[in-house]
Structure 1
Amino acid sequence: MPFDHNDHYHRLLLRQLPKEGRKEGRRALDIGCGTGRFARRLAGRGYQVDALDTSAEVIAEAQAMGGGPRYRRADVTATDLPEGHYDVITCLASLHHMPFATVTRLRAALAPGGALLVLGCYAGRTPRDLVAVPANAAARAAVHVADRLRGAPRPLLRAPVRRPDMTLTDIRTEATRLLPGSRVRQLLLWRYLLTHNA
């Protein structure tokens, strides 16, 4: 069914964007952009967006959809990032595809006052995840019925998926070590939000 756990949190992520700083020429980097849904939302907020993904197929689909971001097939772990350049760096359900220590490279690419926003996936189950099961089923059913009623087209191409191998405890420990002052908040639907401000 077409319910997307990551899209569900777009509004939460948009509320985390820096409130101060430049109004013109704000720059964003969206890592693991997939077909570009969140990158387009950032562009709609006035950001100049660099959107990276390792999948040629999803980059091709994102480029076909346009919407403002500059899409590029690239692996952020092997790409030179300009130091102190981005006002916001986002990483939606993609950090678990790379070494967690990549966050230090991302931190270095943040401009003063910039924000790193990671909507991540974690391994294992917590008591809170028990609540997610019926909530997930209800959300999937509601989206499926709504799409059928309005005759929605087939779902977009999906990016490759990999299971996370770090638990929420591991993530909190590493975030504290690598990004002092960062915050990790558990969300429903097997996700967490990591925020770090430069």
Structure 2
Amino acid sequence: MPFDHNDHYHRLLLRHLPKEGREEGREAGRRALDIGCGTGRFARRLAARGYEVDALDPSAEVIAEAKAIAEAEAIGKTEPIGGGPRYRRADVTATDLPEGHYDVITCLASLHHMPFATVTRLRAALAPGGALLVLGCYAGRTRRDLVAVPANAAARAVVHVSDRLRGAARPPLQPPVRRPDMSLTDIRTEAARLLPGSEVRQLLFWRYLLTYDSSA
């Protein structure tokens, strides 16, 4: 069933965007990097808020899908400030990132596909006052995860019924899935070591939110 755990937290991530420079609800002229962008839904939400977005993913197939979706959605619509996301096939662990360049860097359910220490490369790419936002996956189960099981089943059922009633088209291509190998405790320990001043908050649906402010 097509309930997407990552999409569920888009609004939460948007609330953590840097507040400086907002004009009429938009962050005009600001730069964002979306790591592991998949088919680009969150990258497009950033672009709609006025960010100039570089969206990277190592899969050529999902980048092609992201471009196709963006082109289809753009028909008859006004181009967002700064234009749509610039999609590019790239492995961030082997890509040179401009130092001190991005106002926000996002990483949705993709950090566990790479060494956790990659966050130090992302930290270096943040502009002063920039924010790193990681919606991550962790290994193992906690007491809170017991609550997520019935909530997850209910959400999937609601989305499934809604899509059938609307006659929704096929869901977009899903990026490759990999099981995380770090526990929530390990993630908090490494985040404290590599990103002093960062915060890690446990969420429902086996996710966590890591936030880091480069001015901290």
TM range, smaller chain: over 0.9
Query: What is the CA deviation profile of residues 27-70 of structure 1, one whole-angstrom value per residue up to 9, with x for unaligned ones?
Result: 00000000000000000000000000001100001011226100
In the other structure, the counterpart of 2:36 is 32
In the other structure, the counterpart of 2:13 is 13
Residues in 2 aligned to 1:24 and 1:189: alpha-carbon distance in whole angstroms = 33
Greater displacement, 77-86 / 66-75: 66-75
Q: Which runs of structure 2 are paired with 1:37-48 in the superposition (5 Å)?
A: 37-48=41-52
Q: Which structure 2 residue ranges, 5 or more long, are not aligned? A: 75-83
Output the TM-score relative to the length of structure 1: 0.98
Query: What is the CA deviation profile of residues 61-114 of structure 1, one whole-angstrom value per residue up to 9, with x for unaligned ones?
Result: 101122610000000000000000000000000000000000000000000010
CA contact (8 A) 1:27 1:88 kept: yes
Q: Which runs of structure 2 are paired with 1:132-147 in the superposition (5 Å)?
A: 132-147=148-163
Q: Which runs of structure 2 are paired with 1:59-78 in the superposition (5 Å)?
A: 59-66=63-70, 68-78=84-94
Greater displacement, 21-30 / 119-128: 21-30
CA contact (8 A) 1:34 1:53 kept: yes
Counting matched residue pairs gives 198
Residues in 1 aligned to 2:141 and 2:181: alpha-carbon distance in whole angstroms = 12
2:106 to 63, 80, 90: 90
CA contact (8 A) 2:21 2:28 kept: no
Query: What is the CA deviation profile of residues 110-138 of structure 1, one whole-angstrom value per residue up to 9, with x for unaligned ones?
Result: 00010000000000000000000000000
1:122 to 138, 144, 153: 138
In the other structure, the counterpart of 1:176 is 192
SS at 1:193 equivalent? strand
CA contact (8 A) 1:28 1:87 kept: yes
Structure 1 outlier segments of 4+, above 2 Å? 21-24
Identical amino acids, percent of aligned pairs: 88
Output the TM-score relative to the length of structure 2: 0.90
Matched, 1:54 2:54: no
Please tell me the root mean square deviation across aligned C-alpha atoms, in Å.
0.9
CA contact (8 A) 1:29 1:50 kept: yes
